[in-house]
Amino acid sequence: MVNDSIRKGLTNDTSSLRGLSLLAYSQLSRYDSPSYYKLCAISRAAGILAARKKSIRRGYASKTPYSVKPQLISCYGFKIENRSLRIPVSRRKRFRIPLTNHTLAVISQTGVTVRSFTLTPHSLSLSIAREPPEIECIHTVGVDRNLRNLTAGNDEWVSCYDLSETVRIVRTTGRIVASFKRDDARLRRLVSSKYGERRRDRTSQILHNTTKTIVAKAVERREAIVLEDIRGIRSLYRRGNWQGRKHRDKMNAWSFSQAQKQIEYKARWTGLPVIRLSKRETRGSSLTCPRCGERLQGDKRLERKLWCEKCRMVMDRDRVAAINLARRGRVRFARSRPPINEAQGGAVEAVKGNPTPTVIPGVDAPKLTYPPIS
């Protein structure tokens, strides 16, 4: 049904859902299946045609689309009864698929509704939605994304999560793919796809564990998460920028957007607000001293440490960025949220300034040393 809808859309040069429905719905009447699946097949075909049209508009060559993987998708007509999913297959006839204990535990949570299902020859996926109560936050926590770590913190605490394993995985995968010397483009493509998917899955799992910890800690402390805007960072690592090929490959393999997506959807699932700063608000977050506001000075001997001449301190730039992001997000958070009385949770403290000197964890003030990383 999807391929018939695609051919109909290509013949009539239409990719809108409304236009494709008017053209293809009558043609799909020859299929003996409930109308739920016909509507979903037309919707999927419209998405495929819209993606093809977008690629052509951008100047990329696009082949004639064709759906190969068999799927059964519907957001209507199904029921969850007696620990199983019942889907319609014909008039007054339903097919029963038993659900696992984990799936039942998730969909039985308060406020969770099942929107649709996707059935393939080997798997069943349920699309769920939840409207959790919004958490009233009293503070903010900044999250600084880097190649080898994720740093989260504010004026009270800072935690650095090591992600150097993802860099090692990317380097090992690239070395394995490069070692394949057989002169066959199809086999090289298959090998690259296999190890690329393996790299993606392993990297995603490491990021999942880290972002889960960050969101859980923010929920426990009732802190809104502040994220920086680093779009366009790929332009810093291109050929001609006086950088080595290995350095460009390493930086361009950095999955910084994946960490942001995971934090955002996990925060929305728990009802925790997320503040996304603009590029103007993000500028200089890792180069501004959180104590005095002066610009920090760098030194090749200090690696990722910076020196404040006024405060006479060595500071970790990742920790400094997390603290500054939390502060700048606190200003945005105070403007967007209505004032709350102290009796309702003391959220007025998030609006006030910090009259006392900021305590920066991991900083050794008296001498030029490397701060410990917690």
Cβ proximity of 126 and 107 under 8 Å: yes
Q: Report the SS3 class of residue 308.
A: strand
For residues 165-183, give the mean pLDDT: 88
At 293, is the secondary structure helix, strand, or coil?
coil
Tell whether the model's pLDDT for residue 313 goes beyond 80: yes
- In the chain, what are the domain boundaries? 2-68, 73-130, 139-350
User: What is the per-residue burial (b if ≥16 Cβ within 10 Å, else e) of 210-223?
Assistant: bbeebbeebbeebb
Report pLDDT for 371.
38
Q: Is there a contact between 285 and 144 (Cβ–Cβ < 8 Å)?
A: yes
Higher pLDDT, 47 or 232: 47
362: left (phi over 0), alpha (psi -120 to 50) or beta: left
pLDDT digits (tens, 9 = 90+) for 315-342: 888 899 999 999 999 888 776 665 544 4
DSSP per residue, 211-261? HHHHHHHHHHHTEEEEE---TTGGGGSSTTSS--HHHHHHHHT--HHHHHH
Residue 251 in contact with residue 186, Cβ under 8 Å?
Answer: no
* H or E segment and range at residue 157: none
The full length of the chain comes to: 374
Q: Is 140 helix (H, G, I), strand (E, B) or coil?
A: strand
Q: What was the pLDDT predicted at 354?
A: 39
* Two tokens, residue 101: 């204990």
Question: Which residues make beta-bridge pairs with 315?
Answer: 306
- β-pairing verdict for 84-90 and 149-153: unpaired
pLDDT digits 0-9 by tens, 218-245: 999 999 999 998 877 777 777 777 777 7
**Would you say residue 205 has pLDDT above 90?**
yes
Stretch 137-147: mean pLDDT: 91
